[in-house]
Amino acid sequence: MSSIIERIAVAEAEAETIRQTAETRARELIASANKEVNSALADAKTEAKANLQRRIEAANESANRLAKEIVATKAKESDRIVHDARNNLDAAINLIIERAV
């Protein structure tokens, strides 16, 4: 039969082994968690960049459409002003001719 001192020594050795195993497992869990966090962070950055790029492209498309609409509206206004000016010029020429005659 083993003595109490021997059983205490065995228990202490088992406790140390358990502590070392737990410490090793904790380090592995922390390393795994860090790896997962870094991977998730990289994925989030990639997704955010892609989302930002899509929003920039959508904004550019919207701005281009708006610019085309403004140009078209201003072109119509210019055409109307030119048409009115030609009509006024014709009226002015007729008035000058009437007064000259």
Residue-wise pLDDT for 44-95, tens only, equals: 999 999 999 999 999 999 999 999 999 999 999 999 999 999 988 988 888 8
Query: In which residue are the tokens 């929003």 written?
Result: 55
The span from the CA of 86 to the CA of 91, in Å, is 9
Query: In which residue are the tokens 């997704």 written?
Result: 47
C-alpha distances in angstroms, 88 versus 63, 73, 85, 92?
37, 22, 5, 6
State pTM to two decimals: 0.58
Task: Please tell me which of 3-12, 39-48, 85-94 the model is most confident about, judged by mean pLDDT.
Answer: 39-48
1 pLDDT tier (thresholds 50, 70, 90): low
